[in-house]
Amino acid sequence: MKFTTAFGLIASAQSAIALAVPGQEVTDAEVSAARASIYKRACYGGGGEIWGTDQPTAVEYVLDLCKSGSRPIGSSGQQLGELSYTAGQEKAICRNLNSGKRVDFVVKNTSGVTKFLSFDECWKGLSYEIWTCTEGGVSGYPALGWSYRSDPNTGRCN
């Protein structure tokens, strides 16, 4: 699989605030550091599955998976957002797409501490790879302690 890598700036102080551990205050210095942090992004390319007409379905799945207490389409109530992740914890969920393909969603806490993933941050991280990468992709936000992957693939979920 071939990757296309891009670098960018996190433009939202709101994202840094949303990632705070419940009960923990976020200082202005932390917000400034998060706004200025660099993220690393890789779009998959070179012959993998594309979103095509499944793009809206994948976005709908992200909305459901990031919401607490939701009942994601075609699932048993699993979620990725609005919950805490221990240091280094990764959570992956697969959803079947309309075209006979599937999409793998992965969120990982890359920090050294337990962190809460808000709906807003989960939504931004997972949907970004759907809207901006034809074949899906992965983004890492080292200063904020999260990585996200949204990846369309051949076949159905197990």
Q: Is residue 158 part of a domain?
A: no
- Answer yes or no: is pLDDT of 138 > 60: yes
C-alpha closest to that of 122 among 70, 44, 49, 75: 70
Q: Is residue 69 part of a domain?
A: yes
- Answer yes or no: is pLDDT of 29 > 80: no
- Answer yes or no: is pLDDT of 32 > 70: no
Share of the chain above pLDDT 70, in %: 68
Q: Tell me the mean pLDDT in the region 18-46.
A: 60
Q: Is residue 73 part of a domain?
A: yes
Q: Is residue 81 part of a domain?
A: yes
Q: Is residue 137 part of a domain?
A: yes
Q: Is residue 126 part of a domain?
A: yes
What's the domain count of the chain? 1
DSSP-assigned letter for residue 53: G
Query: What whole-number distance in Å separates Cα of residue 6 and Cα of residue 118?
Result: 25
pTM to 2 decimals? 0.73
CA 53 to centroid of chain Cα atoms:
20
Domain of 113 in residue numbering reads as 2-153
- Answer yes or no: is pLDDT of 67 > 90: no
Q: Tell me the mean pLDDT in the region 101-119.
A: 95
Tokens of 48: 């993998």
Average model confidence (pLDDT) across the chain: 78
